Amino acid sequence: MKPIVSVRDLTVSFHGERAVHAVNGVSLDVMPGEVLGLLGESGSGKSVTLRALMRLLPKKRTRIGGSIEVAGQDVLAMRDDQLSNMRGKVVSMIFQEPALALDPVYTIGEQIAESVVRHEGKSMKEGKERALEMLERVRIPSAKRRLDAYPHEMSGGMRQRAMIALALACKPKILLADEPTTALDATVQIQILLLLRELQAEMDMSVIFVTHDLGVAVEICDRVAVMYAGEVAETGTLAQLVRDPRHPYAQGLLSSTVLGATRGEKLTTIPGAPPSLSTPPQACSFEPRCRFAVASCAAKRPPAVALGERRAARCIHAERTADEKIATLEAETA
Amino acid sequence: MFVYLAKRLLYTIPIVFSVALVCFMLVHLSPGDPLVSILPADASAQLEARLREQYGFDRPLPVQFWIWITNALGGDLGNSIANGRPVLSEVLNAVGNTLLLACAASILGFALGMFFGLVAGYFRDTWIDKLATSIAIAGVSVPHYWLGMVLVIIFSVQLNWLPAVGAGSGSWTWTWAHVQYLILPAVTMAVIPMGIVTRTVRALVGDILSNDFVDALRAKGLGERRVFAHVVKNAAPTAIAVMGLQLGYLLGGSILIETVFSWPGTGFLLNTAIFQRDLPLLQGTILVLALFFVFLNLAVDLLQAMIDPRIKRG
């Protein structure tokens, strides 16, 4: 099977008053019907990567390198009209804060219909019919009445459902989700995740789901890419990453959550802070915070070490498991 | 919507009353005796006392206010001291002319301001933005009586294209014979609201464009033209509110322009009333202008509520 999204050595840097190298050599593959989670903390470049897939970054200040192929087309080579033909039709996006991502002065129905009119050349009336159909599909109660509602008249969860209805109105092949549940409270969060999972299976979509929440990733993802300082630290299936993380950052991330922790025991944290991204990385970006770091880590960038099919970690110690590494470390200090 | 309308209408009652009180007080607290200007210098004390009684100036101020306000409610604002004609018809006549001038200037200023503001905001930090912003700054900075005189010198004196003063003879018609009188004062008057609207809309567009929903609009495949249409609709309520206030200023604050162009509006009338110490005329004009302001704000609020759905529920 050929991947529907294929990103190679993506670099994104912003040049304003000061330069920020937000994404530094990211490679990703997403298969049709697959849900990939981009997991990482704030500033790890996950949202920027997502926006780069649709070229939604400010043109003037952004430099993009590498290659992005979506549904067989080179996104970086597209003209503006080709780009807007693709957006919403082939690739759609849902946002973190639905209250801000919907236009406040248009009704929900108008906003969904607008997309249908744009991509399928239908009339506004047909567009409204599709909007109603979509609102029912995302299970908004009394959908007919909500068609003429403005975003501010709906609750947060309802707005996110409407946003999903809008994004899926033209049956895209790929859905990009930028932390769509972060702004919602926990019970609504799980409802939205279940809905997304269900729609993804029904419509056989690929999803790239950005989140900083491992618990959310566990609910929805098939595969996960852990990002750190604009690089993919480790990729693999969800199970591989949760059970046997190989990159020290992924290991640290897992042991700092309540997943699989013992009650009464303190959670471990990763010391230090992520690096400044004002220059592109010359060495391993995690080296200053890594307890397993050796001299060569600071000397050059580690390669992405392949650990099987579609599994890799950008660490020179990637061949060894966490327990093995800790054992070696303890033997040395003893 | 109906409840909102009723509520806003009720609010206007105390406002109108306070406005009437304040403008009565202001006129009476300011120095100068209205009778001095109409009495001959050698008038006897007896004549002065009789006139004073006739106009009611000898009564206590609260009583004068009560008489004035009850008459005003009945549509009688008294007679002008200077020419004896009823104040109401004088004022209404002038209001018509002022309204004409202010509306023409507002439409012009609003249209230009929206255009420059939207373009400047959309093409921020480009030469287009710099050009539009410079025009806006020039607009609010240039003293408009000066601009009026310069325009008169160029278009009336040098080129002889347009008349310099007045509003034409006879009652107003929408023919070139009358419209040509409107052009110079309207252009002069439009310059300030144009500048203010431009600056407001430019900042507004900057704000709107930084919203997530603009990315979301692009993400659903809309072209820049559609995105721009969304920006315009988002900017409209605030721009209209600003323009409503400007229209209020234009209605009340056109004394300089109306004087420069001898345009027979309320400003011109006010100017005359002040210099002649014509108290009934002055009070009446100020009251009518103040009422204008109140109802204009009401109209703007209603218009905004119609465009922006978020306001209605508030």
Question: CA distances (Å), B41 to each of B47, B53, B61, B188, in order?
Answer: 12, 19, 26, 41
Per the rule left: phi > 0, alpha: psi between -120 and 50, beta: everything else, B234 is: alpha
- Is residue B216 situated within a structural domain? yes
| A114 contacts B226? CB cut-off 8 A | yes
- Shared domain for B140 and B59, answered yes or no, is no
| A105 contacts B307? CB cut-off 8 A | yes
Of B307 and A304, more confident: A304
Q: How many inter-chain contacts (A to B, CB under 8 Å) are there?
A: 79
By DSSP bridging, strand A35-39 and strand A206-211 are parallel
B314: pLDDT confidence band, cut at 50, 70 and 90? very low
pLDDT at B211: 84
| A118 contacts B220? CB cut-off 8 A | yes
* Closest CA of chain A from B314, distance in Å: 12
pTM of the model: 0.75
For residue B207, is pLDDT > 80? yes
- Shared domain for B27 and B94, answered yes or no, is no
Partners of B217 on chain A (C-beta within 8 Å) are 103
- Shared domain for B206 and B120, answered yes or no, is yes
Residue with structure tokens 């009358």? B178
| B220 contacts A92? CB cut-off 8 A | yes
- Shared domain for B42 and B124, answered yes or no, is no
| A115 contacts B213? CB cut-off 8 A | no
Question: CA distances (Å), B244 to each of B5, B12, B115, in order?
Answer: 18, 17, 17
Mean pLDDT of B72-89: 79
* Closest CA of chain B from A267, distance in Å: 35
Partners of A96 on chain B (C-beta within 8 Å) are 212
If contacts are CB pairs under 8 Å, which of residues 26-85 in chain A contact chain B?
51, 54, 56, 80-81, 84-85
User: Nearest 5°: phi and psi at A187?
Assistant: -70, -40
Residue with structure tokens 């603009």? B214
A49: pLDDT confidence band, cut at 50, 70 and 90? very high
Provide the domain count of chain B. Answer: 2
Question: CA distances (Å), B260 to each of A169, B92, B187, B256, B257, in order?
Answer: 61, 21, 13, 6, 5
- Is residue B5 situated within a structural domain? no
Domain around B231: 90-312
Here the tokens at position B13 are: 């009652």
CATH number assigned to the domain comprising residue B242? 1.10.3720.10
Q: Are B307 and B234 in contact (CB under 8 A)?
A: no
Partners of A150 on chain B (C-beta within 8 Å) are 309-310
A59: pLDDT confidence band, cut at 50, 70 and 90? confident
Domains of chain A, residue spans: 105-167, 246-333
The interface pTM score, or ipTM, of the predicted complex is 0.85
- Shared domain for B136 and B108, answered yes or no, is yes
- Shared domain for B18 and B129, answered yes or no, is no
Give tens-digit pLDDT for A80-101.
Answer: 888 888 998 899 999 888 888 8
Question: What is the share, in percent, of chain A residues with pLDDT greater than 90?
Answer: 29
pLDDT at B170: 67
- Shared domain for B57 and B169, answered yes or no, is no
- Is residue B62 situated within a structural domain? yes
Q: How far apart are CA A25 and CA B64, in angstroms?
A: 85
